Amino acid sequence: MKRILGLFLAVCLLLAGCGAEGSKKYTRNFFAMNTYMTMTAYGPHAEEGMKAAEEGIRAIEDALSVTREGSDVWRVNHRTDEAVTLGSDAEAVMREALALAEQTGGALDPTIYPVVEAWGFTKEQRRVPGSGELREVVSRTGWQRVHLEKNKLVLAPGMEIDFGALGKGYAGREAGRILCRHNVRSAIISLGGNVEAVGSRPDGTPWRVGLRAPDGEGYAGMISVRDAAVVTSGSYERYFVDVEGKRWHHIIDPATGYPAENGLLSVTVIGSDGLLCDALSTALFVMGRDRASAFWRSRDDFEMILIEEGRRITVTEGLEKAFSVLPEYTGSTVEVLRK
Ligand code: ADP
Ligand code: MG
């Protein structure tokens, strides 16, 4: 299987590299899933491929949006019956979310939505909930209490779901597949902080993705990838400051109901599965450095870059050559994590 895949990639690279027509550049920008998305693709099939990919992303948004009336997620959260029938996208994402919730020991929890609402991250009315209120909303979460039987989802009263932690990763993965099906061999999609790279650049060199500096302006580093997703979760993305000057961000530790506070500023996950990368970027952020490191050692389906307070960067060994720190990110240290 690996050999066939290798051959396939080699053919893709050859195709991507050939001829003037093969390297013509097209871009497409649009707003979806609450974020600006940019696609760049090369070659004769680029335009039709990107059009189809955008349609695919919009269909996924229609199914997964937590705010859009009539979406699958909205119907679950406004259910009147116990069981709700999901469409294929929502069913697939829920199934993978539940598997990853189990694998991450609940650091990822697709039922965290009542807590996210209590913090006001859904309504732009951000506030610190009282401890009693927090206890009440946490009591309405728990991925173990979700029943998914084929496409029927059954939740206890008061429970609500949200795919904010992995929906964009799923959309990126699907958009990449749509581009491949349209014979696009060289493309890169940016869905907010999520990047999905198809093939390599038209000249055969890897795509380069910048890593935002989580504690300042500009970029901390650069990563070279082919056929991979690069997904970052950071406490700098969505946060508010309370009257006492304390910062609260939007990545919640399901065990406490409070934003995760463990010294991590950003987690970037790189791998071939965009949904997995997105889900893990959130879950590893919740776990913190030590648990995230142990989790990485127990698996072989992703690599990661952790940035902690004090510009302490940890890179897993699979990225040793692909990652470089930018000179302007001064005072940083880099440690390589080995298996
Ligand atoms: P983004 O890239 O949009 O910043 P992330 O992938 O970092 O998003 O996921 C954060 C979002 O996921 C939150 O806005 C919230 O909706 C939801 N969320 C927060 N904490 C968790 C968690 N522990 N498990 C699952 N979803 C979460
Ligand atoms: Mg995520």
> 322 CA distance to ligand 1 centroid (A)?
27
Residue recorded with tokens 């991979």: 228
Give nearest CA residue, ligand 1 atom 2: 233
- 278 CA: nearest ligand 1 atom: 6
Per-residue pLDDT of 77-93, as tens digits, reads 999 998 999 999 999 99
> 300 CA distance to ligand 1 centroid (A)?
23
Q: What is the pLDDT of residue 22?
A: 53
Q: DSSP letter string over 219-253?
A: EEEEEEESS-EEEEEETTSSEEE-TTS-EEES-B-
The three-class DSSP label of residue 121 is: coil
Q: What is the pLDDT of residue 86?
A: 98
Q: DSSP letter string over 268-320?
A: EEEES-HHHHHHHHHHHHHHHHHHHHHHHHT-SS-EEEEEETTTEEEEEGGGT
Give nearest CA residue, ligand 1 atom 7: 233
Beta bridge partners of 104: none
**H or E segment and range at residue 195:** strand 194-199
Q: Assign 3-state DSSP to the chain and report helix, strand, coil percentages, each to 5.
A: 35, 25, 40
Q: CA torsion sign, 176 to 182 to 187 to 188?
A: negative
pLDDT tens series, the chain, 339 aa = 444 444 444 444 444 443 444 589 999 999 999 999 999 999 999 999 999 999 999 999 999 999 999 999 999 999 999 899 999 999 999 999 999 999 999 999 999 999 999 999 888 789 999 999 999 999 999 999 999 999 999 999 999 999 999 999 999 999 999 999 999 999 999 999 899 999 999 999 999 999 999 998 899 999 999 999 999 999 888 889 988 888 899 999 999 999 999 999 999 999 999 999 999 999 999 999 999 999 999 999 999 999 999 999 999 999 999 999 999 999 999 999 999
**H or E segment and range at residue 9:** helix 2-17
Q: CB-hemisphere CA count at 13 Å for 303?
A: 22
Per-residue pLDDT of 195-231, as tens digits, reads 999 999 999 999 999 999 999 889 999 999 999 999 9
Give nearest CA residue, ligand 1 atom 27: 165
> 217 CA distance to ligand 2 centroid (A)?
21
DSSP state of 43: S
* Ligand 1, pocket residues at CB < 6 Å: 108-110, 112, 116, 121, 162, 164-165, 193, 233, 237-238, 250-252, 254, 278, 281-282, 286
Per-residue pLDDT of 302-322, as tens digits, reads 999 999 999 999 999 999 999
Residue recorded with tokens 């406004």: 78
Residue recorded with tokens 């029943």: 147
pTM of the complete model: 0.93
> 244 CA distance to ligand 2 centroid (A)?
28
Q: Which of 98, 161, 252 to mutate to test the pocket of ligand 1 (most atoms within 8 A of CB)?
A: 252
Angle, helix 274-297 to helix 88-103, in steps of 10 degrees: 10
> 259 CA distance to ligand 1 centroid (A)?
10
